[in-house]
Homo-oligomer: A and B are copies of this chain.
């Protein structure tokens, strides 16, 4: 049985290097490349003939989910394992829709990471059970595309006028979209709506 070739992507150099050290302890695993942004992932997988890509979701440039899309379109044989800080239901949903083979949060015990890589490499799905329950309970985003745009523009604490200018809309329209988003999220203010949407991975 040959070794499993891994590509590692995480924007935090220290965490990336540490994960590499952890995985290289396993005799049957070999980290062949490390990258710090999503747009380098695909090329690294091609150059180093990776068997499994271990990706963080939060990354500059291309995020882990878009990188998964790229890999799955181009390299049918390469498996993808998403490892992320935030166990947001929306992340899991989008990751699986992008074709990810596994999804772990960084709360997972370190000993289980190598096993997860092996399972994914063997063609199995690896997904945190608690997160699946959350994901089902939460459902997908109730927000329409435009409501999402407006709410995303509102997270910084901008005024309605500023949002309207950013998106080239009238203030009234912005208020209507925000009102709809507030209603759908069950919030009382747009700040709360933004927080709820962020926590669920809808933005």
- Binary interface profile of A, 102-117, with partner B (CB < 8 Å = 1, else 0)? 0010111111010000
A193: chain B residues within 8 A (beta carbon): 157
Q: Does the CB pair B19–A157 fall under 8 Å?
A: no
Query: Quick one: given A157-B194, A194-B157, are A113 and B188 in contact (CB under 8 Å)?
Result: no
Q: Does the CB pair A13–B157 fall under 8 Å?
A: no
A25: chain B residues within 8 A (beta carbon): 21
Whether A158 sits at the interface, judged by CB under 8 Å, is yes
Identify which of B12, B16, B113, B192 contacts A158 (C-beta below 8 A). B192
Which range holds the interface residue count of chain A? 35 or more
Q: Does the CB pair A14–B157 fall under 8 Å?
A: no
- Binary interface profile of A, 16-30, with partner B (CB < 8 Å = 1, else 0)? 111111100100000
A83: chain B residues within 8 A (beta carbon): 14
Q: Does the CB pair A111–B157 fall under 8 Å?
A: no
Whether A75 sits at the interface, judged by CB under 8 Å, is no
A98 to chain B, nearest CB (A): 21
Residue of B nearest to A191 (CB): B157
A69 to chain B, nearest CB (A): 24
Q: A157 CA to B182 CA in the complex, in Å?
A: 12
Q: A11 CA to B105 CA in the complex, in Å?
A: 12
Q: Does the CB pair A157–B107 fall under 8 Å?
A: no
Other A-B pairs, 18, CB within 8 Å; known A21-B21, A157-B192: A11-B107, A13-B107, A13-B108, A14-B19, A14-B106, A14-B109, A14-B110, A14-B113, A16-B110, A18-B18, A18-B19, A21-B110, A156-B191, A156-B192, A157-B190, A157-B191, A157-B193, A158-B189
